[in-house]
């Protein structure tokens, strides 16, 4: 392994270990040599043979293998790499790293290395949320260990939340960034390779005064998931997001804004783009004149100032504005329609009013559980008619929408991506 960029990949034991195979393939597409250490529990999920076939190298497993030590000592193993990557990084291995344990080849090499380490955690959401894991992660980050993911989504154990390992393309992006390298476009870079996508997500916050604002209940889950799905299909992605509780997806530009006016400016800045998906719940109004000082209940004379009258003024409509641009109008503009009644009719009218190409109508009535929830029931409306999808997880809606977008550009030739784990 000389003359090339080299990654030493530790594959620990978790259901996400199977994604290590795709990760190796994608790293090799970037001309990165990969050598693997497979932990004992990792070997329950993937075989040394498949790792070895993809890396075209030996796979290391046992600390006290005399043959391995004779060929390549465990210290040399990490010295020989430019970067160490742990994917999946289990709660157990993360704890070992934080504590400095060295009782197998993986933990020993991670302790002995003088190279940067990038970890892609994968575990059950409760294990991830546990204060012990969070403390271990904080310790590792303080020591300079880089983190990619985990993502939010359905887990193999049937629960939902953070803990799903970052997708291989996200890990590759993090590897390239750790190595200070630009991604190399690949022949197999996905059906949207060479396309650019702009996504709005989350709520906007419209300041009333320095401490108060107008907002809404959008979580940003759907918009973030769409950004991830489009990026996963190879699009160069820009996510413009209002304030959310979500982690920034990796492998794309993420621009944080607060108000609708800032969101519009960020979107205009991100043009030109081939695809625009407006999934943000933009506040329709802001206060006409924002106060620079906190609005007080009592005046300086101590007299009750009464209830303030807030005059509202309309915010710019970002979807309509992108749809109605001239030369730099994105080739495909997709909006969302959040409706509480008469969903399809209202959304069809909204599509015409805003002049977007497709509108994804979703029922956001309180009983639907869409706002803040994990699932979404949508109808995609375009010039041809209405395509109603069954209720599904927001990340599955995102994946299906991204594939529909890829089909639009490729004339229906996009092969469906494997279902996310
Ligand atoms: N949208 C936008 N800018 C706004 C308002 C909405 O870009 N100022 C976009 C949303 O991101 C979404 C679509 O417009 O893609 C429709 O949003 P929605 O809230 O359903 O509709 P409104 O335009 O706000 O209309 P109404 O509240 O009357 O249903």
Q: What is the mean pLDDT of residues 364-389?
A: 82
Q: How far is the CA of 150 from the centre of ligand 1 (A)?
A: 30
Q: How far is the CA of 215 from the centre of ligand 1 (A)?
A: 14
Co-location of 273 and 346 in the same domain:
yes
Task: Give the ligand 1 atom nearest the CA of 353.
Answer: 23
Question: Last residue of some domain: 152, 179, 206?
Answer: 179
Distances from the Cα of 1 to the Cα of 82, 150, 252, 307, 375, angstroms: 11, 30, 30, 72, 46
* Bridge partner list, 146: 118
Question: Last residue of some domain: 119, 144, 179?
Answer: 179
Q: Which protein residues touch ligand 1 with a CB less than 6 Å away?
A: 200, 260, 278-280, 282, 284, 315, 317-319, 335-338, 350
Q: Which pTM was predicted?
A: 0.65
Most confident of the following: 325-334, 361-370, 409-418: 325-334
Q: What was the pLDDT predicted at 62?
A: 75
Testing ligand 1's pocket by substitution, the residue of 222, 335, 355 carrying the most ligand atoms inside 8 A of its CB is: 335
How far apart are the two ends of the chain, measured CA to CA in Å?
33
- CATH number, domain with residue 356: 3.40.50.10300
Co-location of 115 and 257 in the same domain:
no
Co-location of 264 and 155 in the same domain:
no
Between 412 and 194, the higher pLDDT residue: 194
Co-location of 126 and 241 in the same domain:
no
Between 67 and 207, the higher pLDDT residue: 207
Between 38 and 186, the higher pLDDT residue: 38
d(CA 105, CA 77) in angstroms, rounded, equals 10
Residue 155: band (very low, low, confident or very high) from pLDDT cuts 50, 70, 90: low
Between 131 and 421, the higher pLDDT residue: 131
In a domain, 243, yes or no: yes
Mean pLDDT of the chain: 89
d(CA 122, CA 136) in angstroms, rounded, equals 14
In a domain, 297, yes or no: no
Q: Which of 85-89, 188-192, 242-246, 289-293 has the lowest mean pLDDT?
A: 188-192
Residue 269 — φ and ψ, nearest 5°?
-65, -30
Q: What was the pLDDT predicted at 232?
A: 84
pLDDT exceeding 70 applies to what percent of the chain? 90
d(CA 228, CA 131) in angstroms, rounded, equals 28
Testing ligand 1's pocket by substitution, the residue of 350, 361, 401 carrying the most ligand atoms inside 8 A of its CB is: 350
Residue 419: band (very low, low, confident or very high) from pLDDT cuts 50, 70, 90: very low
For 326-364, what is each residue's pLDDT tens digit? 999 999 999 999 888 999 999 999 999 999 999 999 888
Q: Residue of the nearest CA to atom 24 in ligand 1?
A: 284
pLDDT at 96 over 50: yes
Q: Cβ neighbours of residue 357 under 8 Å, at least 6 residues apart?
A: 323, 332, 333, 334, 382, 383
Distances from the Cα of 305 to the Cα of 56, 212, 298, 339, 395, angstroms: 76, 17, 5, 38, 48
Q: What was the pLDDT predicted at 192?
A: 92
Q: What was the pLDDT predicted at 189?
A: 66
Between 78 and 69, the higher pLDDT residue: 78
In a domain, 187, yes or no: no
DSSP symbol at 51: H
Q: What was the pLDDT predicted at 391?
A: 84
Co-location of 344 and 233 in the same domain:
yes
Q: How far is the CA of 354 from the centre of ligand 1 (A)?
A: 9
Q: What was the pLDDT predicted at 242?
A: 98
Q: How far is the CA of 155 from the centre of ligand 1 (A)?
A: 32
Q: Which of 14-28, 66-80, 238-252 has the lowest mean pLDDT?
A: 66-80
In a domain, 169, yes or no: yes
Q: Which of 20-34, 172-186, 379-393 has the lowest mean pLDDT?
A: 172-186
Number of domains in the chain: 2
Residue 377: band (very low, low, confident or very high) from pLDDT cuts 50, 70, 90: confident
Q: Residue of the nearest CA to atom 9 in ligand 1?
A: 319
Co-location of 140 and 285 in the same domain:
no
Q: How far is the CA of 122 from the centre of ligand 1 (A)?
A: 36
On the 0-12 / 13-18 / 19+ scale of CB atoms within 10 A, 421 is: middle
Co-location of 258 and 365 in the same domain:
yes
Testing ligand 1's pocket by substitution, the residue of 317, 333, 356, 371 carrying the most ligand atoms inside 8 A of its CB is: 317
In a domain, 296, yes or no: no
In a domain, 160, yes or no: yes
Residue 76: band (very low, low, confident or very high) from pLDDT cuts 50, 70, 90: confident
Q: What was the pLDDT predicted at 2?
A: 44
For 97-125, what is each residue's pLDDT tens digit? 999 999 899 999 999 999 999 999 999 99
* Bridge partner list, 381: 359, 386
Q: What is the mean pLDDT of residues 308-324?
A: 96
Residue 71: band (very low, low, confident or very high) from pLDDT cuts 50, 70, 90: low
pLDDT at 185 over 70: no
Co-location of 204 and 256 in the same domain:
yes
Co-location of 280 and 384 in the same domain:
yes
Residue 64: strand, helix, or coil: coil
Co-location of 173 and 210 in the same domain:
no
Q: How far is the CA of 217 from the centre of ligand 1 (A)?
A: 14
Which tokens belong to 210? 């320095």
Q: What was the pLDDT predicted at 416?
A: 46
**Domain that residue 14 falls in:** 5-179
Q: How far is the CA of 246 from the centre of ligand 1 (A)?
A: 21
In a domain, 301, yes or no: no
Q: What was the pLDDT predicted at 181?
A: 76
Q: Give the start-end residues of each E strand in 273-341.
A: 275-278, 285-287, 312-314, 332-339
- What does 164-207 look like in DSSP terms, one character per residue? EPPPHHHHHHHHHHHHT-PPPP-TTS-TTTT-EEEEEESB--EE
Co-location of 148 and 11 in the same domain:
yes
- CATH number, domain with residue 56: 3.40.50.1950
pLDDT at 182 over 80: no
In a domain, 71, yes or no: yes
Task: Give the ligand 1 atom nearest the CA of 338.
Answer: 20
Q: Which of 14-28, 51-65, 89-103 has the lowest mean pLDDT?
A: 51-65
Residue 300: band (very low, low, confident or very high) from pLDDT cuts 50, 70, 90: confident
d(CA 36, CA 23) in angstroms, rounded, equals 12
Co-location of 236 and 87 in the same domain:
no
| Residues belonging to the active site | 157
Task: Give the ligand 1 atom nearest the CA of 283.
Answer: 8
Task: Give the ligand 1 atom nearest the CA of 315.
Answer: 8
Testing ligand 1's pocket by substitution, the residue of 198, 257, 262, 284 carrying the most ligand atoms inside 8 A of its CB is: 284
pLDDT at 3 over 60: no
Task: Give the ligand 1 atom nearest the CA of 318.
Answer: 7
Q: What is the mean pLDDT of residues 242-257?
A: 90
Q: What was the pLDDT predicted at 250?
A: 78
Most confident of the following: 25-29, 224-228, 357-361: 357-361
Question: Last residue of some domain: 179, 212, 246?
Answer: 179
């Amino acid at each position: 392994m000389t003359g090339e960029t080299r990654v030493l990949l530790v594959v620990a034991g978790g259901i996400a270990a199977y994604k290590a195979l795709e990760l190796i393939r994608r790293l090799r597409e970037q001309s990165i040599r990969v050598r693997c250490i497979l932990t004992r529990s990792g070997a329950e999920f993937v075989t040394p043979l498949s790792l070895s076939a993809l890396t075209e190298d030996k796979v290391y497993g046992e600390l006290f293998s005399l043959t391995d030590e004779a060929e390549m000592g465990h210290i040399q193993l990490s010295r020989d790499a430019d970067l160490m990557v742990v994917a999946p990084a289990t709660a157990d291995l993360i704890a070992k790293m934080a504590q400095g344990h060295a009782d197998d080849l993986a933990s020993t090499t991670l302790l002995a290395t003088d190279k940067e380490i990038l970890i892609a955690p994968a575990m059950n959401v409760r294990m991830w949320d546990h204060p012990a894991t969070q403390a271990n992660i904080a310790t590792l980050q303080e020591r300079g260990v880089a983190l990619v993911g985990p993502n939010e989504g359905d887990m193999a154990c049937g629960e939902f939340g953070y803990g799903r390992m970052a997708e291989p393309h996200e890990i590759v992006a993090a590897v390239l960034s750790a190595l200070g390298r630009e991604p190399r476009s690949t022949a197999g870079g996905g059906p949207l390779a060479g396309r650019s996508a702009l996504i709005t997500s989350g709520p906007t916050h419209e300041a009333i005064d320095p401490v108060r604002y107008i907002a809404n209940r959008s979580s940003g889950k759907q918009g973030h998931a769409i950004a991830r799905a489009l990026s996963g299909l190879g699009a160069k992605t820009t996510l413009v997001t209002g304030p959310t509780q979500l982690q920034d997806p990796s492998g794309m530009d993420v621009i944080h804004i607060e108000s609708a006016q800032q969101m519009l400016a960020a979107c205009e800045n991100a043009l030109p783009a081939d695809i625009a998906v407006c999934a943000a719940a933009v506040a329709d109004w802001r206060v006409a004149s924002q106060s620079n000082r906190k609005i007080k209940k009592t005046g300086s004379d101590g007299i009750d100032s009464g209830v303030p009258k807030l005059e509202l003024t309309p915010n710019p409509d970002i979807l309509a504005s992108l749809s109605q641009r001239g030369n730099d109008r994105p080739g495909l503009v997709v909006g969302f329609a959040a409706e509480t009644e008469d969903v399809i009719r209202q959304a069809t009218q909204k599509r015409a009013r805003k002049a977007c190409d497709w509108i994804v109508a979703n029922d956001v009535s309180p009983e639907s559980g869409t706002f803040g929830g994990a699932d979404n029931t949508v109808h995609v409306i375009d010039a041809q008619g209405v395509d109603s999808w069954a209720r599904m997880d927001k990340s599955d809606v995102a994946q299906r929408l991204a594939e529909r977008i890829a089909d639009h550009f490729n004339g229906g030739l996009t092969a469906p991506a494997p279902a996310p784990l």
